[in-house]
């Protein structure tokens, strides 16, 4: 294609040169009319020329300027039709058809370009054959949705960890410990904390004493990480427990259990990233898997059903789920009490009685958002949480990712449900 266009262009130069010669010839011979027609011919050639150049440049660049070529060609044919009356009808028809084509393709080109793309490749990842760096890359994808995404604010993958955890050095992470420096902290602070009761699970004061009967406690850094992931309630990092439980219970979900359901190989990838990105040497794949086998009984290990490459477009919920599952998958339940939703007992955010709250928020003189009714207020709160910050609650605690990470259908279900929740009234039905 490109070669053809280049050839056409060199021919164009040739034609131009010949025409220029003819123009000079006719002019010197005093043939004004002939000279003028040739001049028009040159102009036309030049315009076709521009059209082809534009087409060449924009065909390969993904720009939307292709219709410019078509318009140029149309204009050329019309111009020629004016001066070469013997072929005028033909040229006018041709020009008109070009114009129609230009209009149509222009319209198509200016529409938002949807990436048709291909479905994510259905490759089976072979974690155990990967190098440490490859494993770490897969880990980064699982946590953040893509390689290099760990430095992108708000990036989140199927592991969902950034919903709660900070990962960058010095990053304020109030909901959950910042996971930078975890290997060192595990060794120097966690395993030596008297409350950890290393080797003596029965002395633990936490909700779970052991991950499984006879599992015992972690003895190495890697085992501490595996235990943290599979049994958050076995030991709660001081200051991060569920409010009111005196740090006896953790808000963190078991990440090998639904909705996150990471398989052991995926967990190995996540852990490898945690070491490698700090420039540390990660334990071998086999050792990491072994550490999980200590805390996750065979029956609880998720099958590797979902071992397709974790893509950045992964949604937390696609909207086909019942609304209670959407609240669970979005982790709303961790921070919010939602009447009628089992397990939604969080207290870090307001109780979501939006049938009652929303009208009050909109009428608050401090309200600066654009919502006009309850539905719009809920949508705005979920998608742009900082638009209005409910009094008594912190800004920037609620994740700002739901606009991208929940499908339109899931958002609609959330809005429908919450708008029907009223203080003092029975909760709506789950659908």
CB 98 within 8 A of CB 77: yes
Based on the shown chain and the rule CB under 6 A, indicate whether residue 350 belongs to the binding site for ligand HEC: yes
Closer by beta carbon to ligand HEC, 72 or else 276: 276
Closer by beta carbon to ligand HEC, 45 or else 222: 222
Identify which range of 71-79, 107-115, 177-185, 193-201 contacts ligand HEC by CB under 6 A. Answer: 177-185
CB 181 within 8 A of CB 225: no
Q: Could you tell me how many residues of this chain bind ligand HEC (CB under 6 A)?
A: 54
CA distances from 375 to 285, 412, 418 (A): 48, 9, 8
Report the length, in residues, of the chain: 431
Query: Considering only CA atoms, which of 207, 205, 204 is closest in space to residue 216?
Result: 204
Q: How far is the CB of 317 from ligand HEC (least distance, A)?
A: 8
Based on the shown chain and the rule CB under 6 A, indicate whether residue 323 belongs to the binding site for ligand HEC: no
User: Omega of the bond prior to 301 within 30 degrees of 0, cis?
Assistant: no
Closer by beta carbon to ligand HEC, 66 or else 354: 354
CB count within 10 Å of CB 62 equals 7
CB 265 within 8 A of CB 203: no
Report the distance separating Cα 359 and Cα 362, nearest Å.
5
Q: Which two tokens stand for residue 207?
A: 């909700």
Closer by beta carbon to ligand HEC, 229 or else 294: 229
CB 49 within 8 A of CB 16: yes
Closer by beta carbon to ligand HEC, 17 or else 397: 397
Closer by beta carbon to ligand HEC, 67 or else 253: 253
- Tell me the per-residue interface mask from 143 to 162 with ligand HEC, x by CB under 6 A, - otherwise: ----------------xxx-
Closer by beta carbon to ligand HEC, 74 or else 374: 374
Based on the shown chain and the rule CB under 6 A, indicate whether residue 423 belongs to the binding site for ligand HEC: no
Based on the shown chain and the rule CB under 6 A, indicate whether residue 225 belongs to the binding site for ligand HEC: yes
Based on the shown chain and the rule CB under 6 A, indicate whether residue 402 belongs to the binding site for ligand HEC: yes
* Cβ neighbourhood burial of 277 (10 Å; 0-12, 13-18, 19+): middle
Q: How far is the CB of 208 from ligand HEC (least distance, A)?
A: 11
Report the distance separating Cα 271 and Cα 224, nearest Å.
11
Based on the shown chain and the rule CB under 6 A, indicate whether residue 136 belongs to the binding site for ligand HEC: no
Among positions 66, 72, 382, 421, the unique one binding ligand HEC when judged by CB under 6 A: 382
Based on the shown chain and the rule CB under 6 A, indicate whether residue 232 belongs to the binding site for ligand HEC: yes
* Cβ neighbourhood burial of 207 (10 Å; 0-12, 13-18, 19+): middle
Contact residues for ligand HEC, defined by CB under 6 A: 159-161, 163-165, 175-177, 179, 182, 185, 190, 225, 228-229, 232, 236-237, 240, 250-253, 255, 270, 330-332, 334-336, 348-350, 352, 354, 357, 361, 378, 381-382, 385, 389-390, 393-395, 397-399, 402, 414, 418
């Amino acid at each position: 294609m490109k070669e053809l266009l280049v050839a056409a262009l060199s021919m164009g130069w040739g034609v131009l040169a010949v025409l220029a010669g003819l123009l000079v010839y006719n002019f010197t011979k005093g043939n004004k009319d002939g000279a003028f027609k040739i001049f028009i011919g040159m102009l036309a050639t030049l315009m076709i020329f521009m059209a082809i150049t534009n087409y060449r440049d924009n065909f390969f660049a993904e720009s939307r300027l292709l219709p410019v070529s078509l318009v140029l060609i149309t204009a050329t044919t019309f111009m020629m039709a004016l001066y070469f009356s013997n072929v005028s009808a033909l040229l006018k028809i041709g020009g008109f058809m070009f114009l129609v084509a230009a209009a149509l393709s222009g319209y198509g080109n200016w529409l938002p370009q949807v990436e048709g793309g291909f479905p994510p490749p259905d490759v089976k990842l072979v974690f155990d054959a990967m190098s440490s760096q490859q494993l770490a890359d897969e880990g980064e994808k699982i946590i953040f949705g893509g390689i290099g995404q760990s430095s992108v604010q708000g990036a989140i993958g199927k592991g969902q960890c950034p919903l709660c955890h900070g990962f960058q050095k010095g990053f304020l992470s109030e909901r959950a410990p910042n996971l930078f420096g975890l290997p060192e902290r595990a060794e120097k602070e966690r395993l030596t904390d008297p409350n950890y009761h290393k080797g003596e699970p029965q002395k633990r004061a936490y909700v779970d004493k052991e991950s499984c009967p006879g599992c015992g406690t972690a003895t190495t850094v890697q085992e501490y990480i595996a235990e943290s992931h599979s049994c958050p309630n076995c030991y709660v990092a001081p200051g991060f427990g569920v409010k009111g439980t005196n740090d006896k219970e953790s808000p963190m979900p078991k990440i090998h259990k639904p909705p996150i359901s990471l398989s052991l190989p995926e967990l190995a990838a996540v852990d490898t990233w945690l070491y490698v990105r700090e420039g540390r040497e990660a334990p071998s794949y086999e050792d990491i898997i072994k550490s999980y086998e200590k805390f996750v009984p065979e029956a609880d290990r998720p099958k590797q059903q979902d071992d397709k490459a974790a893509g950045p477009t992964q949604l937390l919920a696609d909207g086909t789920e019942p609304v209670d599952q959407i609240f669970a998958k979005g982790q709303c339940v961790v921070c919010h009490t939602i009447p009628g939703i089992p397990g939604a007992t969080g207290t870090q955010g307001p109780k979501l009685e939006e049938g009652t709250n929303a009208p009050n928020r909109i009428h608050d003189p401090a309200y600066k958002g654009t919502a006009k009714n309850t539905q719009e207020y809920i949508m705005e709160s979920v998608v742009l949480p900082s638009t209005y910050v409910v009094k008594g609650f912190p800004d920037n605690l609620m994740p700002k990712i739901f606009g991208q990470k929940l499908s339109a259908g899931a958002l609609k279900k959330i809005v429908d449900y919450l708008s029907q929740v009223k203080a003092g009234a029975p909760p709506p039905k789950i659908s």
